[in-house]
Structure 1
Amino acid sequence: MSFNTVNTASAGLKVTQAAIGVVSQNIANVGTAGYTKRTVTSVAQGVGNSSVSIGTIGRALDAASLKQLRMETSGAAYTGSLAAVRTQLDQLYGTPGTATALDGVMNDFALSLQTLASDPTLVPARSAVLTKAANLADSIGGIAEGVQNLRTATESQLGSDTVKASAYLASIATLNTQIAATNDEGARNALLDQRDGAITGLSAYLDVQTVDQRDGTVSVITNSGMTLVDRGSAATLSFDGRGTLSPDAAYTQNPATRGVGTITATTPGGARIDLIAANAIRSGSLAAGIELRDTVLPQAQRQLDELAAGLARSMSDRQATGTAVTAGAGSGFDIDLDGLKAGNAITVSLRDAAGVQRNLVLMPYGGSTAPTVAAADLNDPTAMVVPFKVSGTATGLRDAIQAALGTTFSVTTQPGAGTGGLRITTDPTTGAPTLLGVAASVTQPLNTTDFQTGQGQLPLFVDITAKGTLYTGSFDTGSQLTGFAQRIALNPALVGNTANLVDTSGKSLASDPTRPQFLYTALTGDNRTFGAASGIGGVNAPYSSSVQTFAQRIIDAQGAGAATAKSLDEGQGIALATAQSRVASTSGVSIDEEMSKLVQLQTAYSANARVLTAARDLLDTLLRI
């Protein structure tokens, strides 16, 4: 019996000594990043479980908590990136209400027009209008340039993050190989810690989850189901960045037309997968970068382009609205399109026999071939676009619009109404759609120096491309709207000749308020339609307001976007902190807990030692008998 006692007590000492060693290791690594608390298990053995031995030295780990931590890490990286860039974007517009902010500069320009309208003879008031107009154009251009700088910085960050994510994938695959090959328990646990740290680090860039394999390795897959690491093999991520981005640089799945970089995963077998096209990245900083570069910032650019276009055309365009008429069994509208130019789209509103309403956009062009017009470039992206060659004669315009509309419509010229006077009718009794309205915004000046038109319209703002051209919204050489915010400028032909701000015909009185009043009303009172792509009117909904109001709505939208992103990031930060705390409560080292264990182990060690002493004394007594 005493020999069994000695064996049992010796085994107990060994187990206790091993446990003390684990406690010592835990205490020594209390500040080590990525270290997971070690635990030791003992196993009863022998006849009647009369002895004990060391089982395994493992890691204190809660798989569910670790999975939650990685998900929250991805979420925090995503919201953090969004909040940071959206805050910078909001700051580009300035502090609302201040003189240098976009709304302040817009209000100054409006005030200068109002002052000129009250007394057109004041030369300083005329000069002030040009100064304020130039300041407004510069402000819009400066903000738009800032937007593109943010896009370029985001493109660069995507490249940097892709390199880091790819390095994590390679590290995980290497650690998988080492884990599968090692039999040393201590080394294995250290490698497992490193691998967990690498996977958590990877989750900051993209959303991932793991699948445990029997040999101790793991497979890493995205939440969309794409495998990035399979045991010792890892995909390589690459990014073909484009450097400085322009307003028309956009993502497409066609490499030949793609103007920005994409993230490509190259599998060990050589297959190449476009992760953006596959929608494989849904969280993390990479997902945020993609959203910022391809959605948030392009929408901000579109808002500024719409503002610049609305500003230019409000000064130079005439709103042509059809007048309802009855023609025999049919009905229609009379409209004056005199002066119609390439890009001055005609919107025809229809209701078909099923009662469905839709818009038909007749797009005039001046080039040799019909341009390709993307739906997103229209105010109403759900409309059908029909290009037609613009003509300067009444007959040519009538025939072109008739061909564009088709035989279910009747297009006739209106005598005495100029080259643009047309009547467009349909007869619903024959199955043709019902006409609900016809409208267009027609640019009146013939060119950037056409000031004496006899009307209030004035080419106050121009497109500085090719030393200054009239802005009409043309698609002849691509969308004139795209990037116009960077190209809008005060018409240089007006500088030094401020009388044109008042003189409409070359014979107008210096006190005639017609033109200044028109310009002021066009800016602050008349409603214009702004494209649905600006996002101001909601999803796929055009927005109608004055130019001044639209500018304020842009500022409001960006401020609200920044505030929402910041609020989401704060909430996600709390979720991440909670997940980290939950993991730490299981896997982290607590000095108090370890010291408590140490006291217990010291007591157990002393007890086992006393058992050995008692057994020795007993043997000595037996031997002396």
Structure 2
Amino acid sequence: MSGNFLNIGVSGLLSTQSAINTVSHNIANANTEGYNRQITQIDTRNPQFLGGIYIGTGAEVGAISRVFDATTLLELQSNISNFNELEVYLDQASRVDNLVADASTGLNEGLQAFFSAVQTVADEPTSIAARQVLLSQGGLLAGRFNTLTEQLESQRRAVNSGIEASAKEITALGQSIADLNIKIAAATGGGLGQPNDLLDQRDRQITQLAELVDIKTLQQDDGSINVFIGNGQALVVGATASQVVAQRDTNDPKNVDLVLQTGAGNVPITETVSGGKLGGYLRFRDEILEPGFNVIGRVALAVSDEINRQHQLGMDLNNDLGGLFFTDINDATLMQRRVINDSSNTGTASLGIQIDDPNLLTDANYELRFQGGNYILTNTTTNATVASFPPPGATPATVSIPSEGFSVVLNSGAAAAGDRFSVFPTRTAGADIQMQLTNPSQIAAALPVNASTSSANIGSGSIAGVSVTDTTTPQFTNVANDLDPPLVFEFTNATTFNVRDANTNAIITGPVGGFVPDQSNDMLALAGLNYGYEISISGSPQPGDTFNVAYNTNGTGDNRNMLLLGDLQQANTMDNASSNFQQAFGRLVADVGTKTKEAEINKQAADALVAQVTNRRESISGVNLDEEAAKLIKFEQAYQASAQVISVARSIFQTIIDSTR
């Protein structure tokens, strides 16, 4: 009998010792991240049947298990993934928001300063100082475009680095999870119970993985866990882990793409992964960075094209026709920069993009592929096919895409089946814009055409207006700094007139009818002449009245072209004639600001959810030191009591021995 309660005492001692070890383990890991509190389950041993009754045989350790709630952990991992995505997105978006909204770097202030300088020259067309200020403001405006684009390029490089670093971390964590799967499966399969600390380590690795990317997990019968990313692509399957690799996009080498390297080959996952830091980088790139490049570039193209177009219709202080104010948007080098050949192309086609109408440009990028004997142009934002055309019979050739505001220029070579080309009509324009004028005298403030009324006229006819539409016509180019020919409008009666060459007095055409007294009449249009300019006459000319048209030689005080340049500030020359320059850029500022504010609000909400679920997890699985201390006292007392049982058993056993002597 003494042996029975000796065994009972020993069983109590051993089971209590195990419980004390577990409590001590909990206390030691109270501050270990991801640790789940453990408990020792003490069970009653099977009783012994003796003398017709069952006699207890003590206690034993049934299991040491984690206090763990899988649903709470999954919720925590999901919230952590969402929070980290928003944190990265907000950090990157805030930088762009500060950049475009800052008065010292944004475009609207630069545009305002530029057009203020234009107005000053219009007020003082002979002032060299005012012209110099305009040159300076033009350079500063171009510099703002350049700086904004370079800052976005710098941010692109940072995003690429972030994506690459995240990919490496995901790969490392995936391998670590696979290694832990091996250990856990071996322990579970060997009948050794649940390896709690290994399970905690794996859960911690999976939670760290959730910080980087959204994941789904699937528990296996052998205790291992499979991990999936994107649209169900397997990162970890049992003991095998795939690699996530960031590599240069074959369509766009400035960006990095993601592939999942598996035993079966590479699987592109850029378009499918989300959540975590990686999702934050990718979403920022798609929603803010790429549109930012394109909006800035689109405004740069519109500013360059409109200012250049109007400036070239004017005349400078040297009596020369106006030249380019900013960079020619269809410079051959710039056109080629707008197309990137896919690195896998096998054909020899060399392409470019010619900007036809900045007013029709959008913020979209495109893909041009050669398939089925045709070129197919697709908007990569909407995935809509916008044009399809066969290859030209000979190169160079230009194919207009009217709906998009540009043309595809096929310079040379031929595409092979399957060849792809990335088309970026606007992305690089912010970096391309530069000042072309270097001397104040080159500013074309005047119009090159002057019209006057003969002093001998007796009627009430007057010059209602002079407009210039094209200075590349022979009338402007045949003779430098002169019209070829200068004109005289000679009225033969109240409604008809002749058009004469002022140099020879020869009639060019006439008599021309259709003049309507007392309203504005476009004289060259009535005469059917396209000279690149127009003269409007109103009132009631009398027979014999004449009106002279000549080159505006020495028109230094003329500000007519500068006034027209100034009008461009408020002209709706963008977004299908619905926006001016500042409004178009202002939409980018507003859009980035709205997205940044939304991300800030959502991040705060996500942070609160993470804290809430973390607290819930801690209340379930965390170590409460006060509670563990109380358990320690309880188990210490039980241990001492079991020791006392052993002591009593020894004493009784000794008494039995002594009684037999």
Match of 2:226 among 216, 219, 235: 219
> 1:187-240: CA deviations, max 9, x gaps?
933322221221111112211122222222111122622222111111122222
SS of corresponding position for 1:54: strand
Deviates more, 1:551-560 or 1:472-481: 472-481
> 1:243-276: CA deviations, max 9, x gaps?
xxxxxxxx5xxx4677633222122x33321112
Is 1:344 aligned to residue 356 of structure 2?
yes
What is the deviation of 1:298? 0.9
SS of corresponding position for 1:35: coil
The verdict on how the C-alpha distance between 1:91 and 1:257 changes in structure 2, with shifts beyond 3 A counting, is: closer
Match of 1:201 among 193, 197, 208: 208
Is 1:289 aligned to residue 281 of structure 2?
yes
What is aligned with 2:445?
501
> 1:472-529: CA deviations, max 9, x gaps?
955437665331111011223x534244233544537333332222112211x21123
Match of 1:314 among 295, 306, 310: 306
What is aligned with 1:526?
571
The 2-side partners of 1:73 and 1:141 are apart by 38
- Provide the TM-score with structure 2 as the length reference: 0.64
SS of corresponding position for 1:553: helix
Match of 1:58 among 48, 54, 65: 65
CA contact (8 A) 2:246 2:256 kept: yes
What is aligned with 1:577?
611
What is the deviation of 1:382? 7.2
> 1:290-328: CA deviations, max 9, x gaps?
22334421110011011111212332458xxxxxxxxxx
CA contact (8 A) 2:359 2:577 kept: no
Is 1:488 aligned to residue 482 of structure 2?
no
Letter in 2 for 1:562: T
Deviates more, 1:553-562 or 1:144-153: 553-562
What is the deviation of 1:39? 1.5
CA contact (8 A) 1:235 1:265 kept: yes
The 1-side partners of 2:424 and 2:236 are apart by 44
SS of corresponding position for 1:175: helix
SS of corresponding position for 2:12: helix
> 1:167-198: CA deviations, max 9, x gaps?
11111111111222235969933322221221
What is aligned with 2:117?
112
The 2-side partners of 1:346 and 1:34 are apart by 56
Q: Give the fraction of aligned pairs with identical amino acids, expressed as a percent.
A: 24
What is aligned with 1:456?
none
The 2-side partners of 1:560 and 1:177 are apart by 48
Letter in 1 for 2:279: A
SS of corresponding position for 1:263: strand
What is aligned with 1:409?
none
The verdict on how the C-alpha distance between 1:282 and 1:481 changes in structure 2, with shifts beyond 3 A counting, is: closer
The 2-side partners of 1:94 and 1:71 are apart by 34
Letter in 2 for 1:497: S
The 1-side partners of 2:283 and 2:123 are apart by 48
Is 1:566 aligned to residue 578 of structure 2?
no
RMSD value, Cα = 3.7
Match of 1:596 among 607, 630, 643: 630
What is aligned with 1:418?
none
The 2-side partners of 1:481 and 1:294 are apart by 16
- Provide the TM-score with structure 1 as the length reference: 0.68
The 2-side partners of 1:39 and 1:276 are apart by 44
Letter in 1 for 2:278: L
Is 1:153 aligned to residue 178 of structure 2?
no
Is 1:276 aligned to residue 270 of structure 2?
yes
Letter in 1 for 2:149: A
CA contact (8 A) 2:378 2:384 kept: no
CA contact (8 A) 2:260 2:268 kept: yes
The verdict on how the C-alpha distance between 1:440 and 1:624 changes in structure 2, with shifts beyond 3 A counting, is: closer
SS of corresponding position for 1:266: strand
The verdict on how the C-alpha distance between 1:159 and 1:141 changes in structure 2, with shifts beyond 3 A counting, is: same
What is the deviation of 1:23? 0.9
SS of corresponding position for 2:586: helix
Letter in 2 for 1:14: L
Task: Figure out how many residues of one structure are paired with residues of the other and give that number.
Answer: 476
For residues 14-33 of structure 1, the aligned pairs below 5 Å read 14-33=14-33
Structure with higher Rg: it is 2
The 1-side partners of 2:295 and 2:251 are apart by 27
The verdict on how the C-alpha distance between 1:343 and 1:217 changes in structure 2, with shifts beyond 3 A counting, is: closer
The verdict on how the C-alpha distance between 1:597 and 1:372 changes in structure 2, with shifts beyond 3 A counting, is: same
Match of 1:260 among 243, 255, 262: 255
What is aligned with 1:514?
560
The 2-side partners of 1:237 and 1:148 are apart by 24
Match of 2:295 among 300, 303, 312: 303
SS of corresponding position for 2:356: coil
What is the deviation of 1:288? 2.1
CA contact (8 A) 1:308 1:485 kept: yes
The verdict on how the C-alpha distance between 1:41 and 1:579 changes in structure 2, with shifts beyond 3 A counting, is: same
Deviates more, 1:153-162 or 1:577-586: 577-586
> 1:346-386: CA deviations, max 9, x gaps?
999xxxxxxxxxxxxxxxxxxxxx99755469xx9979558
What is aligned with 1:463?
none
Match of 2:241 among 230, 234, 247: 234
The 2-side partners of 1:102 and 1:257 are apart by 27
The 2-side partners of 1:313 and 1:61 are apart by 66
The verdict on how the C-alpha distance between 1:177 and 1:49 changes in structure 2, with shifts beyond 3 A counting, is: farther
SS of corresponding position for 2:639: helix
The verdict on how the C-alpha distance between 1:209 and 1:346 changes in structure 2, with shifts beyond 3 A counting, is: closer
The unaligned stretches of length 5 or more in structure 2 are 48-53, 311-329, 331-353, 361-373, 392-398, 412-422, 450-551
Deviates more, 1:256-265 or 1:205-214: 256-265
The 2-side partners of 1:212 and 1:100 are apart by 53
What is aligned with 2:147?
142
The 1-side partners of 2:642 and 2:654 are apart by 18
CA contact (8 A) 2:574 2:581 kept: no
